[in-house]
Chains A and B, each alone.
Chain A
Amino acid sequence: DAGVIQSPRHEVTEMGQEVTLRCKPISGHNSLFWYRQTMMRGLELLIYFNNNVPIDDSGMPEDRFSAKMPNASFSTLKIQPSEPRDSAVYFCASSPPEGDTQYFGPGTRLTVL
């Protein structure tokens, strides 16, 4: 199994630009999670989906952030417009129907200049 796949691994952009982060969960998993990791705030859950439906987006910082899961094998996290304070590592994780364990991708390191 390839594990959770995230792309790109690194993204450098300028303030005001749109950023799209992508995630392919492990095949057969039906829950998908987006996290943000910063030195100041640690690991924060942004949003999670179950069977492609957003269940809890209370962690999404503001309207500039949006996430979609059009099908069971793909999800995006979009930031528009991006700001320097969005610089962080963004992780995607997925878990199987029986729940419990989340499997994390390698993360996308985002730098907004």
Chain B
Amino acid sequence: AQSVTQPDIHITVSEGASLELRCNYSYGATPYLFWYVQSPGQGLQLLLKYFSGDTLVQGIKGFEAEFKRSQSSFNLRKPSVHWSDAAEYFCAVDLSGNTGKLIFGQGTTLQVKP
């Protein structure tokens, strides 16, 4: 079955440390890939997206993600985490080619230690 997996349910990092959140998808072709962030009590905000071309994409708030076809992965990274980055992060795929029908991973909760 087609799916999106975020292996880490909860991650804690120290402020200033680097961050990598993992995302793997199960699908025969290359889907459209997204990362969203959800702050407590808020809706989801798009961080970045990948459709084609350069496999390293830059997003808002200093985030980037790299698409690796061989690993079916789209991991999110940030070189230096800020306390305000504490939130829940969702990886999502559009399997139907930019139809807008997204399948979300279960999410990774990021906690930032002072």
Contact = CB atoms under 8 A, between A and B. Distances in A.
7 contacts: A33-B102, A42-B104, A42-B106, A43-B104, A93-B43, A95-B100, A101-B46
A92 B49 CA distance: 20
Contact of A45 (B46, B49, B51, B101): B101
Interface string A69-113: 000000000000000000000010101000111111111000000
Interface in B43-95: 43-46, 49, 51, 90
A26 to B, nearest CB: 12
B105 interface: yes
Most chain A CB atoms below 10 A, which of B41, B98, B100, B103: B100
Q: Kindly name the residue among A42, A56, A105, A106 whose own CB sees the greatest number of chain B CB atoms within 10 A.
A: A42
Contacts of B90: 43
Interface residues of B, number: 21
A4 B64 CA distance: 26
Per DSSP, are chain A's interface residues mostly helix, strand or loop, or mixed? strand
Q: Size class of A's contact patch?
A: 20 to 34
Interface of B: 32, 36, 41-46, 49, 51, 90, 98-107
B45 A99 contact: no
Contact of A31 (B36, B44, B46, B100): B100
A107 B43 contact: yes
A91 B90 CA distance: 14
A106 B104 contact: no
B56 to A, nearest CB: 18
A101 B43 contact: no
Contacts of B41: 106
A102 B102 CA distance: 9
Contacts of B49: 100-101
